[in-house]
Every structure is written in structure tokens, then in C-alpha cells.
Amino acid sequence: MIKFIIIVTSLLIALTCVAQQKTEVIDSAIKATYNSNPDVGISVGLVHESTRYFFNYGTVSRTVSQRVDSITTFEIGSITKLFTSYLIAQQAQAGRISLDSFVDEYLPPQVKLNPKIQSKIKVSDLASHQSGLPDFDMLRLLQLNPVQPLDEVTTEMVDSILVHTSDLESLGAYQYSNISYVLLGYILENVVGSNYEKIVNNNLLKPLKMKNTFTSDFSSGISTMGYDFQNNKRGFLNWNCVIAPAGLLKSNTSDMLKFIQFLLATDDKEILRKIQKTYFKNTFIELGLGLNILRDGDNVVYAKSGDSVGQSSVLAYNKQKNWGVIILTNQASGIARQLFSEITIILN
């Protein structure tokens, strides 16, 4: 018995040392990236074998000395799509939605598809970017409203796109489309009988105690200032209930680790199966519901990136190796993705 205890204790010490070594290497990688980009604010949260780690570098803006930390608010951009996909999977699990059914069955009566594209798009097509629907013209939106381009996205604009889209040329092929997630938001609101803001709050944020993940009211706490590719200042995008399901949540690394830990440990195996199932795959990309699936043999990493006009982020987790990471930066650049690649190599 004593020998057994000694062996187990030795293994635990060895595993702890390995974990410490990895986190030290990760911290060095983040620090090196920051030293090469001293204007960026970086907040990284890591959960590894149920232990949480935080790595923070830089300030909340280039003109404010307030240091970034684990409760500093960033835009998470399209990582919001993973929340929306999880909410869709919840409703599918409850029997209110069939992922294999056509969207026409669940859209509100006032949302009309062009007759030529009716009964062609499945719910899962929307969440895996193979609906064939066009995306919003972001360059045009920026021309119309350089400061708050998404304020220009209205129900009338969406209705016009749906009515005038008569051909789904890329149906069944990968084509990134924010309007697909607008429709998923419409579907959620119609089947639940509430608005998206209340649904995401009541069904995810409150149960997970994510008190600092914000929807329409993001005025509390310390927020970052974003910077676009031309290094222009970019404040947070306003909440717009139409396009919100595609990318308007704000959060921090502390709250986002709660979501990642939930994905790693949840007993809702069927919901996870739904979002992690492969719905599209070609030579270059494999997609679940709101997730990229990255395979290296039997080793699988699930990931989602997010970009706003002035910020960039990456969420990823590996269930087999029991780790997850959230990377938040206040620049619309490749820094978050670069760090994701480096951290994934270290952890795997």
C-alpha cells in the first residue's frame, strides 16, 4: 500500500512538473509576441487538467496605462457564433428543432425566402456555412457608416437579401455567411418565443455564471480600445439585435474559460455531439456547428476565431488532452491566430 501511494504521488508530481513546464513555455511565447508587438493588449486564459492559468500583457489602449487582466472586456466577434450554435443544439435536443429539416419550417412568418430557394436550406447548413446565402458586404457597410458599420444591418436589409436571392450557387459548399447566423437568431427567437439577448442570457450566461459576458449593456468594467489594420482607433460595436447572433458578444478570459470548462466537462453529451459532428469537409476545412475541426490523427482540436473591426480572438479546446484556451487581443491582426498556432503545438 505504501509503495502504491509513493508511485501515485511520484506520478502526480511528474504531471505537475510537465504542466508547469508547458505553461512556462506558453508564457514565454506570449511574452515574445508582445515584445514584438508592444502596442497590443493580450489576454490569454488556459485551462489544463482542470487548472486555470492567465497570461496578460499590454494595456487596454495605446493612450491609457491601465494593464490588461483576466477581467478586462474585449469583443469576441464571431466566437459568438459558437454560443448561437450551442443554443440551436439545445433546442434540437429539446425536440423543438431538427437540424436536418429545412429552415422554412422554423422561420418567423414575416421572414420570406425567394420561392426559388425555399425548402433547400437545412438548419445545419446555416450553422456550418454551406447555405449558399451571400454574406453582407462589409466594405459597403463601412462606406455607409465608418464608425458603426453594423448599425446599417436592418431587418429590411435582410428581407431584401432573402427575397432577391434566387440562386444558391454554393449550397453544400463552404462559403462564410453572417446572414446565416442572422437566420439562426430568427429561428431561436421564433421557437423559444423570446429575443436572442434573453435567450443567450437565460440559457447560457446565467447558468454558467458568466456575469461579465455582455450583450446590449457593456458599459460596466474595464474595456479595451480596438485598433484596425490601419491602426485607427475602433471602439466596441453597438449591439444590433439583427446581427447580434453572428458576432456581438463582449467578454473576458475569466468568463470565457468558464464556457470552455463547461464544454470540456459537460454531461450534455448529445448536445456536444451535435455541435462537434462533421457537417462539412473538404481538403482544406472541416466544420461542425459553429466550430472548425482540426484533426491530427486521433487528436482533435475544436476551434473558433472571432474578428471585429478592431479586435481579434481565438477559442479552442481538446477534449482528449483536457485543455482549452481563449486568446483575446485588441488589434484586428493575425496575432491571436499566431499565438493559437504556437500554443496548440506546445499543448499537443
- pLDDT tens figures, 221-268: 899 999 999 999 999 999 999 999 999 999 999 999 999 999 998 777
Whether residue 170 is contained in a domain is answered as yes
Range of the domain at 262: 19-347
Residue range 155-163: average pLDDT? 96
Mean residue pLDDT of the chain comes to: 93
pLDDT, tens digit (0-9, with 9 covering 90-100), for 27-83: 999 999 999 999 999 999 999 988 999 999 999 999 999 999 999 999 999 999 999
pLDDT over threshold 70, residue 304: yes
Between CA 248 and CA 151 the distance in angstroms is 12
pLDDT digits over 223-236, tens only? 999 999 999 999 99
Q: What is the CATH number of the domain that holds 249?
A: 3.40.710.10
Q: What is the amino acid identity at position 84? A: T
Yes or no: say if 99 and 121 are a contact pair by the CB < 8 Å rule.
Answer: no
Total count of domains within the chain: 1
Task: Look at residue 222 and tell me if it is in a domain.
Answer: yes
- State the pTM of this model: 0.93
Cβ 117 vs Cβ 104: under 8 Å? no
29: left (phi over 0), alpha (psi -120 to 50) or beta: alpha
**Residue 81 resides in a domain:** yes
**Does the residue 281 lie in any domain?**
yes
Residue 13 belongs to some domain of the structure = no
- Mean pLDDT, residues 169-189: 96
For residue 18, pLDDT over 70 is answered with no
Residue 255 lies in a domain: yes
